[in-house]
Amino acid sequence: MATVTLRDLRKSFGDTEVIKGIDLEIEDGKFCVLVGPSGCGKSTLLRMIAGLEDIDGGALSIGGEVMNDIAPAERGVSMVFQSYALYPHMTVYQNMSFGLKLAKESDETVEERVRNAAEILQITDLLDRKPKALSGGQRQRVAIGRAIVRDPKVFLFDEPLSNLDATLRVQMRLEISRLHRRLGTTMIHVTHDQVEAMTLADQIVVLNQGVVAQAGTPRDLYDRPANTFVAGFIGSPAMNLLDARVKGGSVVLEGTDARIEGVDAADRPDGPVTLGFRPEHAELRDDGDGLPFEVEVMEDLGDTCVLHGVLADGPQATLRIPAETALPARGDRMCVMPGDGRCHLFDRDSGQRI
């Protein structure tokens, strides 16, 4: 039905290539989240799918049909903009029915679809209001409602929640998730927010400078990041990425003799690598059999506590430990070891996973 397929998609603004050959397949009905640092081309890619930017190279198909040269309104996609982009001079009802009226739908169909969408989003009471008389969250709902009524094959969201306050954001996130389950439509969602990405997505696509760094389920990306970029990008606080060295089948932190136990490098040749382990995957060792860690900054988050400090008198590292035990303080020395099987090795030069 509405599988979205990108084949070697390219886009340049002047001389700078912004999208550098993206291959991607988003299956019908899946929720795909695009993440990446600012300026990596997320919005541009989304706008190319919407038809708001021309495609310079490659092929975009939706539901098996090539869409490169089809007008935006005929692609069967709806977009929700970051700034909501409601028509200020129209009431909520007119905002939502504008597209349908242009498509010459009958009055009954328009009325029915708008009422339906308004019901789903609980904005029936607001239908006669102008956008300026709405709160941010309500405007957002109207913007989503305007996308729903057109009954698109694909929804595109460009950071729709980033203007909302934290509480409302969590609430709208749940609602988008519910909406996806209810409509079963393919959705592509751009966000900066880690949690939003991890919770909403069937498939996360991490973009870096116009190329796909990795695409996969949230689990995949968290458990098996394909490279140091994804490793550092997914997860909060970020994964520790430390210079290390393979020496006779075991991994040693660069500049120290500290041997890391939980990695198997038996069949690796000696040489430099990058060692990654997540802050939450460090184990405290009471028996003194581990690496020394000196606490410099402690952040108590209530359920857990985050420690920033020096590992094995060498590199900086971050740990996250349960906040049940007595909390360590600045200057404390403790004994830690990355969890068994929870370490990742990356090629030092290319950054690719080994």
Partner 1 sequence: MAARHTSPAAKIGFWLLVAVLLVILLFPFYYAVITSFKSGSAIFEVDYLPAALSAGNYTSIFAEQPFGRNILNSLVVSVAVVGISLFLGLTAALALGRFRFKGRRMMLLAVLSVSMFPQVAVLSGMFELIRVLGLFNNPGGLILSYLIFTLPFTVWVLTSFIRDLPAEVEEAAIMDGAKPWTLLTRIFLPMMWPAMVTTGLLAFIVAWNEFLFALTFTLSNDQRTVPVAIALITGGSEFEVPWGRIMAASVIVTVPLIALVLIFQRRIVSGLTAGAVKG
Residues lying near ligand ATP in the complex (CB under 6 A) are found at 13, 18, 36, 38-44
For the chain, where are the alpha helices, taking DSSP H only? 42-50, 92-102, 107-121, 136-148, 166-183, 194-200, 218-223, 228-233
CB nearer to partner 1: give 86 or 234: 86
Among 83, 217, 325, 350, binds partner 1 (CB under 8 A): 83
Alpha carbon of 10 to those of 34, 186, 211, 278, 284: distances in Å? 17, 22, 10, 34, 48
**Any idea of the CA torsion for 192, 225, 223, 297, to the nearest 10 degrees?**
-60
Does position 222 bind partner 1 by CB under 8 A? no
Least Å distance, CB 50 to partner 1, is: 6
> Among ligand ATP, Mg ion, partner 1, none, what binds residue 134 when CB lies within 5 to 8 Å by partner kind?
partner 1
Least Å distance, CB 207 to partner 1, is: 21
Does position 191 bind Mg ion by CB under 5 A? no
Does position 52 bind partner 1 by CB under 8 A? yes
Least Å distance, CB 312 to partner 1, is: 48
Distance CA 211, CA 258 (A): 36
**Any idea of the CA torsion for 124, 128, 130, 133, to the nearest 10 degrees?**
-60
Does position 43 bind Mg ion by CB under 5 A? yes
Least Å distance, CB 39 to ligand ATP, is: 4
* Contact string 137-156 vs partner 1 (x = CB under 8 A): --x------x---x------
Cβ–Cβ < 8 Å for 23, 8: yes
* Contact string 56-75 vs partner 1 (x = CB under 8 A): ---------------xxxx-
Distance CA 27, CA 69 (A): 22
Does position 79 bind partner 1 by CB under 8 A? yes
Distance CA 297, CA 331 (A): 9
CA 61 to chain centre: 23
> Among partner 1, ligand ATP, Mg ion, none, what binds residue 39 when CB lies within 5 to 8 Å by partner kind?
ligand ATP
Q: Which residues bind partner 1 (CB under 8 A)?
A: 50-52, 71-74, 77-79, 81-90, 98-99, 102-103, 130-134, 136, 139, 146, 150, 163
